[in-house]
Structure 1
Amino acid sequence: MAAKDITGSVPAHVAIIMDGNGRWATSRGWPRLVGHRRGAERVRTIVEAAPGLGIRYLTLYAFSTENWKRSTEEVIGLMTIFARYIQSEAERLSAEGVRLRFIGERSRLDKKLQKLMAGIEERTKDNDRLHLTVAINYGGRDELARAAKKVAEDVAAGRLAPDEVDEAAIEARLDTHDLPDPDLVIRTSGETRISNYLLWQSAYSEYEFTDTLWPDFTPAELEAIMARFTDRERRYGGALSA
């Protein structure tokens, strides 16, 4: 049977690799952390614009499992920015109907940050206007390895039969098990790689790469990218009907 043609549909779930904060700052002779702070401000702008563009789910790549390789100063600065964002935005996000959740492996994060993350997740859990997901200490391979470990544990414990291990069993154990797959993945800053982001979930996502650095990425550019998305034919491996 031919795959459904959804040409013309607005992407309900947009995932973004927010790249270019450091380069934005250094190009101006400023410390990299200035760029990260400006990037956090840009998050606020895009989150505010998303519902009006028809976006129901917005997933942002904030800190990867590989980002620990950066300088101690930059890592500590980023974690501080994350904590301040949660504290400063909690009331506004809650009031505007935004549900905030986090994906990634949390045990390596500071305990205070983990507590803040859990607190805002609980506070906004009933909101439904926009589902905002932030990936912190996230890597697609790490996520799949953790899911595989859970499958192995369930099989060993007799909760799952070996012949029940299928795509659905793996998907149910991913960080994103209660989220739809992204329709559109955007990467800013001119890089054209996916950097270990949502490897399972983006199997049939459409991709857009823009030269714009994240602090300069505007709702208008997001809207233009989404308009191009509506012209694409998503076949999911099938063929469109005549």
Structure 2
Amino acid sequence: MTEARPQAGQDGPAPPRHIGIIMDGNGRWATARGLPRALGHKAGAEAARRTIEAAAVAGVGWLTLFAFSSENWQRPVEEVRDLTGLMRVYLRAEVGTLVKEGIRLRVLGERERFGPDTVRAIAAAEQATAPGTRMNLNIALSYGGRGEIVAAAREAARRVAAGTLDPAKLDEALFAGMLFTAGMPDPDLIIRTSGEQRISNFLLWQSAYSEFVFQDVLWPDYGATHLAAAIGEFTRRDRRFGLRIA
């Protein structure tokens, strides 16, 4: 990664503080080229590397990449095996670069479903990158927005049953603190690639006031130019948050 570190807003509008990306199109990219889907996922990992670098250079503080949904477990066994293997390789290979660049990694989702080897790789990567302050990188693995909300509701119910939470005191802020993203800012901008225009169970609670940009590019072809275009679209919008009538 480059060492250039421009200050957000120095030469124009500030970038979004937090960007979430639904990385879609690996399979279609591979199919269009007559390649195995596994090579599409490998190319997608390279696109993730480029996009992380571009976000850091742009001054984005938080980046959340939707890498593996809870629904992805329903894919063919061979594809799931290829995906999880690629994730383990990526975690181990990229840790040194993330540490050098000051990027802190966190994994959101039900990591235990991946097995002990992957869980250990995740924990090691999170620990090694914890001192990073340049950018926060979230990777959503075995993640689903509905499941996240249900898990938070179960935690709230557990606290009520234990007598440590008065139901009358449960508000949005307290509930948000029980989500995977506790302590993180909500995404200002959510991007989806491949031309699809849906959010596919991604950050449902957190995206209540997010801006959405849908880009007609398959994820393996994504890079700095596409991210800059999405950020440019974001900065041109007037975000009212329901506070005034146009």
Task: Tell whether the structures are fold-level matches, with TM greater than 0.5.
Answer: yes
Residue 54 of structure 2 contacts residue 223 of structure 2 at CA under 8 Å; is this kept in 1?
Answer: no
**Percent identity at matched positions?**
50
- Deviating above 3 A after TM superposition, structure 1's stretches of 4 or more consecutive aligned residues are none
Report the counterpart of residue 220 of structure 1 in structure 2. Answer: 225
Q: Deviations over 1:44-97 (max 9, x none)?
A: 111111122121110000000101110000000000000000010011111110
Q: How many angstroms apart in 2 are the aligned matches of 1:210 and 1:227?
A: 13
Deviation at 1:225, TM superposition (A): 1.3
1:169 corresponding residue in structure 2: 174
Residue 55 of structure 1 aligns with which residue? 60
Aligned equivalent of 2:143? 138
Cα RMSD after superposing both structures: 1.3
Q: 2:203 aligns with which of 198, 204, 229?
A: 198
TM-score by length of 1: 0.95
Distance change in 2, residues 1:240/1:12 (3 Å): farther
Of 94, 97, 107, 2:99 maps to 94
Shift of residue 104, structure 1, vs aligned partner = 0.5
Quick check: 1:151–1:169 contact (8 Å CA) kept in 2?
no
Matched, 1:67 2:72: yes
**How far apart in 2 are the matches of 1:204 and 1:9?**
18
Gaps of 5+ in 1: 1-7
Aligned position for 2:26: 21
| Structure-1 residue corresponding to 2:46 | 41
The alpha-carbon deviation at position 106 of structure 1 amounts to 1.8
Structure 2 unaligned regions, length at least 5:
1-12
SS in structure 2 at match of 1:84:
helix
Once the two structures are TM-superposed, the CA of residue 9 in structure 1 deviates from its matched residue by 4.0
Task: Determine which of 107, 121, 126 is the counterpart of 1:116.
Answer: 121
Structure with the larger RCO, 1 or 2 (CA within 8 Å, 6+ apart): 1
Is 1:234 aligned to residue 228 of structure 2?
no
- 1:156 and 2:161 are equivalent in the alignment: yes
CA contact (8 A) 2:23 2:65 kept: yes
- Contact 1:103-1:135 at 8 Å conserved across structures: yes
Distance 2:223 2:127 in 1: 30
**Local SS of the residue matching 2:104:** strand
User: In structure 2, how many angstroms separate the alpha carbons of the residues matched to 1:94 and 1:240?
Assistant: 46
